[in-house]
């Protein structure tokens, strides 16, 4: 499966800035068979676990989190950049390579003791995923695992996360 997905991921040099090789997942999404295999694999991994919700990180995490939650019959909870959610929120700020960012989720998104998985398209430095884990904990939730389509191992994002991590493809 990993090789099939890797064949679909396109390298885009110098995006979003010079020296970066962007891993473009849109060809995975454009190939209905491969996209279905990705979602099926995630469903297989999580269907036997006691999970109460799927947390999807803005924005490409939504592409995997929503169909996964649907297939598992679970709520899909969005984590968004500050100011994008319409109701009362809880927030978490974190450092980026240059500056900082803040993410939010609704204050009533998770009940105390609920077990969740967190999903996003890519694990790079781990800042966004770590902040999302803290948001879940802040509301009394428990993170079962963080899942990613792609992990850029050389950036050591895994080290920032203190829970299980599942990556379908590693570079």
Does 159 participate in catalysis according to the annotation? no
pLDDT (tens digit, 9 = 90+) per residue, 14-57? 999 999 999 999 999 999 999 999 999 999 999 999 999 999 99
pTM given for the model: 0.95
* Residue of 10, 71, 80, 97 marked catalytic: 97
Share of the chain above pLDDT 70, in %: 99
Angle at 17 between CA 12 and CA 18, to 5 degrees: 80
Does 151 participate in catalysis according to the annotation? no
What b/e readout covers 92-109, taking b as 16+ CB neighbours within 10 angstroms?
A: bebeeeeeeeebbbbeeb
Task: Flag the least confident range among 8-12, 17-21, 74-78.
Answer: 17-21
Tell me, what's the pLDDT at 95?
Answer: 87
Structural domains in the chain plus CATH codes: 50-170 (3.40.50.2020)
Tell me, what's the pLDDT at 36?
Answer: 98
Residue 43 CA to residue 47 CA, distance in Å, equals 6
* Residue of 36, 45, 58, 60 marked catalytic: 60
């Amino acid at each position: 499966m990993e090789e099939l997905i890797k064949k679909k991921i396109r390298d885009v040099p110098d995006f979003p800035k010079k020296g970066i090789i962007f891993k473009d997942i849109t060809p995975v999404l454009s190939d209905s068979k491969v996209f279905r295999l990705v979602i099926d694999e995630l469903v297989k991994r999580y269907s036997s676990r006691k999970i109460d919700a799927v947390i999807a990180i803005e924005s490409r995490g939504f592409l995997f989190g929503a169909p996964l939650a649907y297939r598992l019959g679970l709520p899909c909870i969005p984590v968004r950049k500050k100011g994008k959610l319409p109701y009362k929120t809880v927030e978490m700020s974190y450092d980026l390579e240059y500056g900082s960012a803040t993410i939010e989720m609704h204050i009533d998104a998770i009940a105390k003791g609920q077990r969740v998985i967190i999903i996003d398209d890519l694990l790079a430095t781990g800042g966004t995923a770590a902040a999302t884990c803290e948001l879940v904990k802040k509301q009394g939730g428990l993170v079962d695992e963080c899942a990613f389509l792609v992990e850029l191992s050389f950036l050591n994002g895994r080290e920032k996360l203190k829970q299980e991590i599942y990556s379908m493809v590693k570079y």
